[in-house]
Chains A and B, each alone.
Chain A
Amino acid sequence: MSVAGRTLLRDAGGRAGLILILLPLLASVLAGPLAPGDPLRVGSAAERLLAPSPSHPLGTDALGRDVLGRLMLGGRASLAVGWSGVLGAVLLGTLVGLAAGLGHARLDRALMGLTDLFLAFPRVFLVLLLAAVAAPSLALVAAVIAATGWMGVARLVRAETLALRDRPFVVAARSLELPAWRLAARHVLPHVLPLVVLAAALRVGGAILLESFLSYLGLGAQDPTVTWGAMIEHGHRHLADAWWLAAFPGLAIALTAVGHNLLGDALRDALDPRAGGRCDAPGEGGP
C-alpha cells in the first residue's frame, strides 16, 4: 500500500470517514436480504404512519412502507449520483484546466472567461434552470452536478499546469513535438493527478447534499426509485403527525456527507503533510 494510503488509514478521521461511507454502501447492497419486509410494498391501511416499534424500527410512511428498508435502499441514489456527478465535474474541470494551461493564450482567455461566466451564477439557480429543461431522472441530476461543479477544478488544474509548463521535463517533452494530448496525458497529468483526486474527494459531500435537495424538490429520481431527499419531502407533508419520516433520511444524508468530508480532510493531510490543520478553502458547495 502506498504511503498516502497508510497515512490515511492511520488517521482516526480517515477511518471514521471510510466506515461512514461503507455503511450506506453495504446497507443498500444488502437491503434485499436484510430489510424487514419489502421496502417497495404498499402496506394495508392499518400499517400506515406507524411510529417506530420492534417490527418497524424506524416506523412506516403514509403508504405503509417500512422506513428502515427504504432508508437502506436510498443510499444507492445518493452514492451513485454523488460519485458520478463529481467524477463528471472533475473530468470536465481537468480537461478545461489542461487545455487552458497548455494551449494558446487565446484559448486560455476564452476558457477562463467561460469559467468566470459559470461562477457568476449561484449554483442552485443554474441547477434549477438546467433541471427545468428536461424530464427529472437520476442521470439528469448527475449531469447537472457535473455541469455546474467543474469551475473550481478547472482553475486549480490550470494554475498547476502553468507552474509545470516551464519545468525542464515538460520543455524537453515539448521539444519532441509530441501531439498536444500526449504531452498533456503523459507528462503533465500525472503531476496534477493527486490534486485532482483530492479536489474530487472534497466535493462528494457537497454533491450528495445537492442531490438530496433536488430529490426533495421532486427533480431527482421518480417513484419507485427510493431517494433520501424524496423521503424527506414525503416527511415534510406529514411533519405534524409523523416526525420519523423526515428525521431519519436527513440523518442518513448527514452521516454519509460527514463520512466523505472526513475522508477528504484525511486525504488532504495524507497527500500534503504541510497542509495539516489548515482550514477549508471556500468551496462552491451545495446547500
Chain B
Amino acid sequence: MIRDLLTRLATALLLVLAALSLVFLMARLAPGDPVEMLRDPDLDAAGQALLRQQHGLDRPLAEQYVRWLGGVVLHGDLGRSLRLHREVSIILAEAVPRTLLLTVTAYLVHLATAIPLGVWMARRRGSAAERAVGALGLAVNSLPAFWLGLMLVLIFARGLGWLPASGMHAPDHAALSWSARLLDTLRHLVLPVMVLGLATAVGTARYVRQSVLEVLESEFVTAARARGLSERAVVWRHALRNALLPVVTLVGLNLPALLGGAVVTETVFAWPGLGRVAVEALWARDYPVILGATGLSAVMVVVGNLLADLFYRVVDPRARTGGEGRT
C-alpha cells in the first residue's frame, strides 16, 4: 500500500517535470524570437537587446532551460512578464483563486444537477420525458460554449438586465458592505457557472443514469427489494452509493475539460482568472506568462488526478489491492 502510493507520487512528480520541460521546449524551439514577437512599437534595437539580456534570452538554450526549470522547482520562480514587467508567479497567484472560485462553484452546481437528474432518468427510463432530456443533452453538448455564453449575455444582461454581462465585481465593489460584496460576486458568477457547470450537466447525468441502471441489476439490489424496502430507499440508499463510484472517477478525470472550459468561459465573460491571463498573454505573445500558465494547468491536472485516485482508494476498498483494477 505505502509502496504503491510512493510509486504514484514519484510518477506524478516525473510527469510534472516532463510537462514543464515540454512546455519550455515548445515555446522556445518555435521559429519566432519572443522579443520581436512582442511587436512593441516603443522598443528600438537597443531596447530589444536590453530586454533580451534582462530575461536571459541571449544565453544558449540549454542554459536557459536549466535556469528556468531550476528557478521553477527551487524557488517557484517563473520569470517575469515581457509585457507587464511583473513576476509571472505573482500574476498567476492572483489569477488561480479566481479560477478556483469559478470552477469549484461550477463543479458543485454540475454535480448537484447531474446526480438527481441521472437518477430521475434511470427511474423514468424509456419515457418520452426522459428521452427528451437525453436529446437536449446531446444538443447542448454540441453548442460552442463561448457562443452559449454570448447568448446568455444577450438575453439576461442586455435584454432583461437581470445580471451583469462580464467581470467579477461591479466598479463600486470595494465601497460595498461585506454582504453586498458577496451578493455582487454571486451575481457575476451566475452566467459563467451556467455555461461551465450547468450546460454540461446533462452529459454527466446520462452517465449517472447508465451507472444506476447497471447497479440496479445487481444481486444486492434484488436482495434489498426482497426485504421489502421502498423503491425510493433502494435507489437512493443502496444503488446510488455504488453507482456514484465510477462517476466520481469520471468527474475527477474530467479536470482537464473543466480547466479548459474555464478558459473559454473566462474569455467570454472577462473573468480575470488563469484562462483570461493565458489568452491575453497569447494575444500579446508574452511567452513567459503563457509558459507559466500552461505549466501550472498541467500541475493542477496531475495533482487533481492524484487526489481523485487517492479518494477512490479511500471510498472503494477493491481499488486498494489490485493496483491495476481500473482501466
Which residues of chain A have a CB within 8 Å of any CB of chain B? 113, 116-117, 119-126, 128-134, 205, 209, 212-213, 216-219, 229, 232, 235-236, 239-240, 243, 246-247, 249-250, 253-254, 257-258, 261-262, 265, 278-280, 282, 284-287
Contacts and interface: CB of A to CB of B under 8 A. Distances in A.
Contact of A239 (B18, B154, B257, B267): B154
A116 B15 contact: yes
A209 B261 CA distance: 12
A93 B147 CA distance: 30
Nearest to B268: A236
Nearest to A113: B18
A128 B298 CA distance: 13
Contacts of A246: 147, 150-151, 154
B147 A253 contact: yes
Interface string B257-272: 1011101100110000
A280 B206 contact: yes
B31 interface: yes
B294 A235 contact: no
Contacts of B27: 129, 132-133
A125 B260 contact: yes
Interface stretch (B64-72, B106-114, B137-145, B232-240): B137-145
A232 B290 contact: no
Contacts of B254: 282
Interface in B117-152: 138-139, 141-148, 150-151
Contact of B301 (A122, A131, A218, A265): A122
Nearest to A119: B256
Contacts of A123: 256-257, 260
> Which of B30, B150, B253 has the most CB atoms of chain A within a 10 A radius of its CB?
B150
Contact of A120 (B19, B209, B283): B19
Given A123-B256, A217-B267, A287-B144, A250 B150 contact: yes
Contacts of A257: 142-144
A253 B151 CA distance: 14
B203 interface: yes
Given A128-B290, A280-B206, A254 B260 contact: no
B128 to A, nearest CB: 15
> Which of A217, A250, A253, A279 has the most CB atoms of chain B within a 10 A radius of its CB?
A279
Interface of B is mostly: helix
A213 B144 contact: yes
A122 B263 contact: yes
B264 A124 contact: yes
Contacts of B144: 209, 212-213, 216, 229, 232, 250, 253-254, 257, 287
Contacts of B138: 258, 261-262, 265
Nearest to B211: A279
A205 to B, nearest CB: 6
Interface residues of B, number: 59
Contacts of B317: none
A63 to B, nearest CB: 20
Given A134-B31, A279-B209, A250 B139 contact: no
> Which of A129, A134, A219, A250 has the most CB atoms of chain B within a 10 A radius of its CB?
A129
B210 A278 contact: yes
Given A213-B144, A213-B146, A279-B210, A122 B250 contact: no
Given A117-B19, A246-B150, A133 B31 contact: yes
B146 A261 contact: no
Nearest to A219: B282
A128 B294 contact: yes
A235 B32 CA distance: 31
B288 to A, nearest CB: 12
Nearest to A212: B144
B277 to A, nearest CB: 11
14 contacts: A122-B257, A122-B301, A129-B27, A129-B294, A133-B26, A133-B31, A212-B146, A217-B279, A229-B144, A232-B150, A235-B150, A253-B143, A284-B256, A284-B257
A132 to B, nearest CB: 5
> Which of A132, A240, A279 has the most CB atoms of chain B within a 10 A radius of its CB?
A132
A280 B139 contact: no
A253 B13 CA distance: 40
B276 to A, nearest CB: 12
B48 interface: no
B264 A254 contact: no
A261 B135 CA distance: 11
Contacts of A284: 256-257
B302 A120 contact: yes
B153 interface: yes
Contacts of B256: 119-123, 284
A120 B142 contact: no
A23 to B, nearest CB: 14
B210 A125 contact: no
A261 B137 CA distance: 12
A267 B214 CA distance: 24
Contact of A287 (B250, B261, B290): B261
Interface in B285-314: 285, 287, 290-291, 293-294, 297-298, 301-302
A257 B279 CA distance: 24
Contacts of A235: 150
B285 to A, nearest CB: 6
